[in-house]
Structure 1
Amino acid sequence: MGRLTSLKPALQAQPSRLATVNPESWRTAKGTAAQRGYGYKWQVARAAWLEAHPLCVYCQREGRVTAATVVDHSTPHRGDMKIFWDRSNWVSLCTHCHSSVKQAEEREADRFL
């Protein structure tokens, strides 16, 4: 009977996205999501917002109708609770737009800071 040999993986291991978190980020300094303001009060406010604003505004701009699942802050609050709770700064997004389009916009804006 022949020897079994292991095959080299076809894909290289990708670094963890968590490894790229800036240790000086407000997210790291403020602790858990609840400690950063995303506790029960936020969940209630988020649900009410999505009920009143159920469609993704980014998709609407492109002529698509997509249910929103995320309440995003148009201007990143970076831990500033006044900005965090300013409803004029809230926008409804679908998960895809929040995780791709909005994140790319923020990365681009951060390049110029």
Structure 2
Amino acid sequence: MPARAPKHRPHKADAVAHVPAEAVRLTTAQRGYGGRWQKARETFLKRAPLCVECQRSGRVRLATVVDHIKPHKRCQALFWDTDNWQALCKRCHDAKTAREDGGFGNAVRSARVP
């Protein structure tokens, strides 16, 4: 029986679209969400365990995310300002993110290939 012809598989480097350097998202640690943040987040959620957005709507839901009310944009003073933090459930945080920057952040949106 004859052998099957090999399938053409383009080289992986050829298959990846070029993404501008400014569109590449940093890791969570590079963005400041390392061990120090995880400890601060845990402490904050113990003190404020309910989602503030859900409470405003008359619902009770546990918060799982510490959100920066005003985006910090890598400003360390604003990043660590606890007056700029609020406890949100994932659903409310995702909705807020979608309203503020299109749902997926600038990096992913910029990297999309038509």
Q: TM-score range, shorter-chain basis?
A: 0.5 to 0.7
Amino acid at match of 2:100: E
Percent identity at matched positions? 53
For residues 1-113 of structure 1, the aligned pairs below 5 Å read: 24=22, 28=25, 31-100=26-95, 102-107=96-101
Cα offsets for 1:15-70 (capped at 9, x unmatched): xxxx9x98536x73xx3111111000000000000000000000000000000000
Greater gyration radius = 2
**Partner AA of 2:22 in structure 1:** E
User: How many pairs align?
Assistant: 85
Q: Segments of 4+ in structure 1 off by > 2 A? A: 21-25
Q: Say which is worse superposed, 77-86 or 64-73, in terms of deviation.
A: 77-86
Unaligned runs of 5+ in 1: 1-18, 109-113
TM-score when normalising by structure 2: 0.67
Gaps of 5+ in 2: 1-16, 103-114
Instruction: Please provide the CA RMSD for this pair.
Output: 2.3
Deviation, 1:105, is: 3.2
| Structure having greater relative contact order (Cα 8 Å, sep ≥ 6) | 2
